[in-house]
Amino acid sequence: MKLRLSTALILAALAGPVAAEDLMQVYREAQQNDPSLAAARSNWAATQERVPQARSALLPYVAAGGSAFLQDGRTDFSGGTVPVTANSYSNAGVTISASQPLYRRQNSLAYDQAKRIVEQADFTLAVAQQELILRVAVAYFDVLLAEVNIELAEAQKAAVSEQLAQAQRNFEVGVATITDTNEAQARFDTIVAQEIVARNDLDNKRTVLRTIIGRMPGALKKLGPAFEPELPNPNVLDAWLDRALAENLNVRIAGYNVDVATLEIERARAGHLPTVDLVAGAGLTWGTGSIASDFNYNQRNANIGVQLNVPIYQGGFVESRVREALALQESARQSLEVARRNALSNAQVGFTGVNSTAATVGALKQALRSAETALASNKLGQEVGVRTNLDVLNVVQIVFQTRRDLAQAYFNYLISVLRLKAASGTLSELDLEDINRRLGG
């Protein structure tokens, strides 16, 4: 069996059918069906309402009310000289009142907080979108790698099967011992077991992708033959670290939390400040009499003025709120520091990962060429009697393990690229489209 294959041919052999789904098709479907992203979108929409709610406390408040009564009364003094009296009457009224805050520092600060929270929501949604890109890419390439493992297991099984058949023929004609046959049979049985495990792993990986897109995926497009890893641009760690500190989305979210917490301190302290409101009201009452009169009446009134409220003593509530807000501000600052350190760590890991996986791909490509050369030499040596069947089987194992490692390295490289972009806050659909263009047709 001829086992020599170049890296380009390996990748070409893994190209999917024309009707296979590509990475962007799967991602678009995930955008429509992923419940985590749907929840993030709903949270974003809900957060948008924080601004109009806070703004309402700065706008006029108008209320209207009304009442109507019907009274039927009777007084009877039995045994006296006062006659029995009866009185029935009705009365009704309507009122309207309005107030306009002129100075309420707490409400103004709450409005500023709401605006910051709404701005923060955009980054929170962007994080969910970046996480979806990563989840789709990881799940997609996990399926491809599981398929590669099956294909390599089948090819390795065929190669070992050929060695098993040859060992059996050599034993029958007396040029080899039963040991060669037993060793080949043991290798064959092991590969069969590995193939079963690989097929089960493929089912599991397809199930993970199903949880994202809401259905079992069909055939997926695989890496094309022209794919070559590229190093980060710029290939300077400090540049990526600076970008992570400035643009990482989780750092930005944590920064907004500090801003909101700082405003909350001012808002708590504003509990000591007076409030000033412009108030106005109007009312109309009418009736057909009262318990003491039978005369109809109609009464109107209106008022307008300024209302001042000065807090004097609130039982220590304001001081307690200030202490609480200061503690929460410190918590937010520490969370910001955590986010900054995580961003630096993720950027460094991502940068190193891209460089190391790119180098690993190159090394494994050379290792595969060497292993295939060694296999050809061992097969020739077996034919002339200087190599045993076990020697050939060992090299066959190395060849297929190297091919599996090479496929894993390709996928690790692509995921490392996406993780580096995510750590620097720049991951977008364009990066996924760039990877998608490297898939075979």
Residue-wise pLDDT for 61-108, tens only, equals 999 999 998 887 666 655 555 555 556 788 899 999 999 999 999 999
237 token code pair: 């760690």
Per DSSP (E only), the strands in 211-316 are: 275-287, 297-309
Q: Which of 185, 135, 131, 188 is nearest to 158 (CA)?
A: 188
Q: What CA–CA distance (Å, rounded) separates 414 from 411?
A: 5
Instruction: Please give the Cα distance from 45 to 118 (Å, whole number).
Output: 9
106 neighbors 54 (Cβ within 8 angstroms): no
Q: How far apart are CA 133 and CA 426, in angstroms?
A: 12
**pLDDT for res 73:** 66
Q: Where in the chain is the domain with CATH 1.20.1600.10?
A: 7-58+104-273+316-436
Among 196, 229, 197, which residue's Cα sits nearest to residue 362?
Answer: 229
pLDDT at residue 5 in the model: 40
* Cα 182 off chain centre by: 52
Give the DSSP H or E segment for 56. Answer: helix 50-56
102 three-state secondary structure: strand
Question: Which residues have C-beta within 8 Å of that of residue 155, sequence separation ≥ 6?
Answer: 400
Per the structure block, which two tokens stand in for 137?
């890419």
For 7-58+104-273+316-436, CATH number? 1.20.1600.10
The 10 Å CB-count burial string (b at 16+, else e) for 148-177 is: bbbbbbebbbebbbebbebbbebbeeeebe
Instruction: Take residue 220 and report the two structure tokens written for it.
Output: 């997926």
Q: What is the pLDDT of residue 384?
A: 81
Q: What are phi and psi of 110, to 5 degrees?
A: -65, -35
Containing 369, the helix (H) or strand (E) segment is helix 317-384
Determine the residue type at 76.
D
Q: Distance between CA atoms of 77 and 339, rounded to whole angstroms?
A: 85
CA 155, CA 9: separation in Å to the nearest integer? 14
Question: What is the dotted CATH code of the domain comprising 64-102+275-309?
Answer: 2.20.200
- Give the DSSP letter of residue 70: E
Element (H, E) at 101: strand 85-103
* pLDDT < 50 positions in the chain: 1-10, 12-18, 441
Residue intervals in the chain for CATH 2.20.200 = 64-102+275-309
In whole angstroms, give the CA distance from residue 221 to residue 98. 66
Is the CB of residue 238 less than 8 Å from the CB of residue 337? no
What is residue 80's predicted lDDT score, i.e. its pLDDT? 54
The alpha carbon torsion through 19, 24, 27, 28 (nearest 10 deg) reads: -90
Cα 140 off chain centre by: 17
Establish how many alpha carbons lie within 13 A of residue 159's alpha carbon, considering only the half-sphere containing its beta carbon: 26
pLDDT at 79: 57
Environment class of 356 (CB within 10 Å of its CB; exposed 0-12, middle 13-18, buried 19+): middle
- For 405, residues 6+ apart whose C-beta sits below 8 A from its C-beta are 364
